A and B are shown apart, each in its own frame.
Chain A
Amino acid sequence: MAENVLITAKRVVAIGGSAGSLDVIIRLLPGLDKQLGYAVIIVIHRRSQQDSLLGNILGTKTDWVVKEAEEKEPVIPGYVYLVPSDYHLLVEKDHTLSLDDSEKVNYSRPSIDVTFESAAETYRENLTAVLLSGANADGAAGMQRTKELGGICIVQNPLSAEVSYMPEQAIRQVAVDHIVDAEQLGKFINDLLKNG
C-alpha cells in the first residue's frame, strides 16, 4: 500500500491514562462512531509485557482497527493507535507517527505529555485531548499545550475515577473545557465530534 494515496486523518482524539484508566477505555471505545472520520491515539502507562494483550482486548470492543503504533506510519481515520510501552509517541507535521526512546518524562515512557504536546502542535484545533484516571501528574502539561493551540480538553470527572490524582492535577493547572463522568465519556466525545 503506497503511503501517498492514503488519506490521513484530519482530526484526532488523543486519550491518556494511567492507573484505573483501562476499564474506562474499554467502556468508552464501543461508543465511538467510526464513520466520523477521525483517528484515536491511546497512551496508557503500563508494563512492557502487556503490549499485544492490550491490543487484543481493545480490538474485541470496537469495529475500529486497533493496532500498536509503528514508527513513520500515517494516521488513518477509523484507526485506534496504541502507543507501545517503553517509547514516547510523537505526531509529525505530515500526519505520520514517530517513536522516541528518550528520557522518561514524569517518570513515564510513554509519557502522555509528550504525545499530547506533539499532537497539539500538528492538529491544533482539530485535537481533542482526553485525560483519565491515574496516580501521576503526567498529561497536565499536554492539556495546557492543547488548550494554547486551540484544541479541546476533556477530563474524566475525578469523582468517577478509580485514582483521582491525574484528572485533578489537570483541572487544577489548566482551564479544561469539559469534565465528564466515566460512564458518559464515549457518548460525549462522539457528540462533540459529530457537531464539531
Chain B
Amino acid sequence: MEKNLHIQDDELQLLLNDVMQKYGYDFLGYSEASMKRRIDRLVSIDRFPSFAEFRHHLLSNEAYLQRFVEEITVNVTEMFRDPSFYRVLRKQVLPVLATHPFVRIWHAGCSTGEEVYSMAILLEEANLLHKSLLYATDINPGVLQKLQSGIFPIAQMRQYSENYIESGGTGDFSKYYTAKYNLAKFNESLNSKMIVSTHNLVSDRSFNEFQLIFCRNVLIYFDKPLQDKVLGLFDESLETLGFLALGAKEHLTFSPIGKNYQPVNGREKIWRKMY
C-alpha cells in the first residue's frame, strides 16, 4: 500500500508559526486534526517528498501562499444546502427583513458563493432584492473571483434545482441562469447586489451592522477559543433582533454570547439576537 506522509504535531506548529510570521495568516486556532489532514493532502497532491521541502517552498515562494490558503481551508458548498433551513428562512426570517427599509446581510466565509446566490434568489422571490445588499467575504481571493463570475458547473444544477424545490421554491429554477456548454451562468441581476471582499475572521474586525449573518460550516474548523472569538465578532456586527445562521452541526449552546440568543425554530440553526 502507498505510503503517505503524515505531518507531526511539532512540524505543524512550526509551519503554522512560520506562516503567521512571514505572511500574517493566523491558522493557529484551527482544529488540529482537520488541519493536519488538509496539509497531508496538499503535500501529497503537490508531490512534495518531505515536509521540510514543503515548508521551504511555501516560505520562499509567495506565489504558492494563495494555493496553500485555498487548499488547507475547505471550500465545499452547494446551493440551497439543507433545504429545510432555507424553508425556515423563507417563512420566518424574510417576513421580518421585509419590514426594514434596507436589508444588509453578511455571508462570512462564503467560499465560491453558492449560498450567496441562493439567498439572492430567495430575496428576489420575496421582492426584497432591490433593497438588499449581500456582503460576501472569504479568506481566499481565488474563491471570491469564482463567486463574482457567477459561473458554476452545469452538472450540479439538477441537484440544486431539487434542493430549490425542496426549500419551497415554486418557480422554474433554470430561469436564474443561462446554460452554455458545461457551465451555468447566473443572471447579473443576482450578483448586482453583492459586495465581495476578502475578510479573515481570525484577524479582521467588524465592518458594518447587519440584520442577518450567515456563517455555515466554518466554525467547525476552529478550536473552541477561536469559535468564541468569531461568535463575538458576529455579535458585534449584528443589530438587536438580527439573525445568526450557522451550519447544521454548529451551535451557540456553550458559547458566551449564547444567553442573548433565541432559536427561531427548533431544528434549524438560526438564532435571533434578543439583547
Question: Are B32 and A101 interface neighbours, CB within 8 A?
Answer: no
Q: What is the CB-to-nearest-CB distance from A39 to chain B, in angstroms, rounded to a whole number?
A: 16
Q: Which residues of A contact B74 (CB under 8 A)?
A: 100-103
The interface-forming segment of A18-26, A89-97, A123-131, A160-168 is: A89-97
Contact with A along B58-92 (1 / 0, CB 8 A): 00000000000000001010000000000000000
- Give the distance in Å from the alpha carbon of A84 to the alpha carbon of B217 in the complex: 14
Question: Are B220 and A99 interface neighbours, CB within 8 A?
Answer: yes
Tell me how many residue pairs across A and B have CB atoms closer than 8 Å: 60
The reply on B31 being an interface residue by CB < 8 A is yes
- Give the distance in Å from the alpha carbon of A18 to the alpha carbon of B37 in the complex: 23
The reply on B155 being an interface residue by CB < 8 A is no
The reply on B180 being an interface residue by CB < 8 A is no
- Give the distance in Å from the alpha carbon of A84 to the alpha carbon of B221 in the complex: 16
Question: Are A121 and B34 interface neighbours, CB within 8 A?
Answer: no
Q: Which of B232-271 contact A (CB under 8 A)?
A: 247-251
Question: Are B34 and A84 interface neighbours, CB within 8 A?
Answer: no
Interface of A is mostly: mixed
Count residues on chain A whose CB falls below 8 Å from chain B CBs: 27
Question: Are B33 and A118 interface neighbours, CB within 8 A?
Answer: yes
Contact A87/B249 with A101-B74, A101-B217, A173-B1 known, Cβ cut-off 8 Å: yes
Partner of A90, one of B34, B217, B224, B249: B34
Partner of A121, one of B33, B220, B249: B33
Partner of B36, one of A71, A87, A121, A174: A121
Q: Which residue of B lies closest to A2 (CB)?
A: B254
Question: Are B76 and A72 interface neighbours, CB within 8 A?
Answer: no
Question: Are B1 and A144 interface neighbours, CB within 8 A?
Answer: yes
Question: Are B34 and A100 interface neighbours, CB within 8 A?
Answer: yes
Partner of A100, one of B6, B220, B223, B250: B220
- Give the distance in Å from the alpha carbon of A118 to the alpha carbon of B224 in the complex: 19
Contact A93/B220 with A100-B34, A101-B74, A102-B38 known, Cβ cut-off 8 Å: no
Q: Which residue of B lies closest to A100 (CB)?
A: B34
Q: Which residues of A contact B223 (CB under 8 A)?
A: 72
Q: What is the CB-to-nearest-CB distance from B27 to chain A, in angstroms, rounded to a whole number?
A: 15
Can you list 15 pairs linking A and B with CB atoms under 8 Å apart? Answer: A70-B249, A70-B251, A71-B249, A90-B34, A92-B33, A93-B9, A93-B33, A100-B74, A100-B221, A101-B220, A103-B74, A103-B76, A114-B37, A173-B1, A174-B1
Which residues of chain B have a CB within 8 Å of any CB of chain A? Answer: 1, 6, 9, 31-34, 36-38, 74, 76, 217, 220-221, 223-224, 227, 247-251
Among all A-B residue pairs, the 3 with the closest Cβ atoms: A90-B33, A102-B74, A98-B31
